[in-house]
A and B are shown apart, each in its own frame.
Chain A
Amino acid sequence: MADAGRIVTGVWAGIAVMVVGCFALKYAGLSVPPSVLQHPLTVRAVELIPAGLLGALIAVQVLADGASVQVDARLLALGVAAVLLTLRVPFLPMVVVSAAVAALVRQL
Chain B
Amino acid sequence: MTSDRSIVVDSLGVGLATGACGVSFGAISTASGLSVLQTCLISLLVFTGASQFAFVGIVASGGNPLTGALTATLLGSRNLFYGVSLAPRLDLDPLARLASAHVVIDESTAMAVTRDTRRQARLGFYWTGISIFVLWNLTTFVGALAGDAIGDPRTYGLDAAVGAAFLGLLWPRLATWKGRIVALVGAAVALGLVPVTSAGLPIVLGGGVAVLLGMLWRTRAAS
Q: Measuring CB to CB, which residues of chain A are less than 8 angstroms from any residue of chain B?
A: 7, 10-19, 21-23, 25-32, 34, 37, 41-42, 44-46, 48-64, 66-69, 73-74, 77-78, 80-82, 85, 90-92, 94-96, 98-104, 106
Contacts and interface: CB of A to CB of B under 8 A. Distances in A.
Contacts of A27: 83, 97-98, 101
A14 B55 contact: yes
A77 B173 contact: no
Interface stretch (B130-138, B141-149, B187-195): B187-195
B79 A22 contact: yes
Interface in B186-208: 186-191, 194-195, 198-199, 202-204, 206-208
Nearest to B176: A51
B160 A51 contact: no
Contacts of A80: 164
Contact of B211 (A7, A52, A60): A52
A30 B161 contact: no
B182 A98 contact: no
Nearest to B217: A48
Nearest to A41: B215
A14 B184 CA distance: 36
A13 B198 CA distance: 22
Contacts of B223: none
Interface in B36-59: 38, 41-42, 45-48, 51, 55, 59
A49 B163 contact: no
Given A25-B79, A92-B9, 7 more contacts: A22-B72, A25-B73, A26-B79, A28-B83, A51-B174, A58-B166, A92-B10
B46 A19 contact: yes
Contact of B76 (A15, A22, A77, A85): A22
B41 to A, nearest CB: 7
A67 B68 CA distance: 17
Nearest to A103: B157
A107 to B, nearest CB: 8
B220 interface: no
A81 B49 CA distance: 23
Contact of A106 (B98, B154, B170, B218): B154
Closest 6 CB pairs of A and B: A29-B83, A14-B65, A21-B73, A52-B210, A55-B183, A55-B186
A58 B184 contact: no
A1 to B, nearest CB: 16
A45 B166 CA distance: 20
Interface in B54-93: 55, 59, 64-66, 68-70, 72-73, 76-88, 90, 92
A61 B159 contact: yes
B211 A103 contact: no
A37 B167 contact: no
Contact of A54 (B51, B173, B195): B173
B104 interface: yes
A99 B157 contact: yes
Given A48-B214, A74-B160, A58 B170 contact: yes
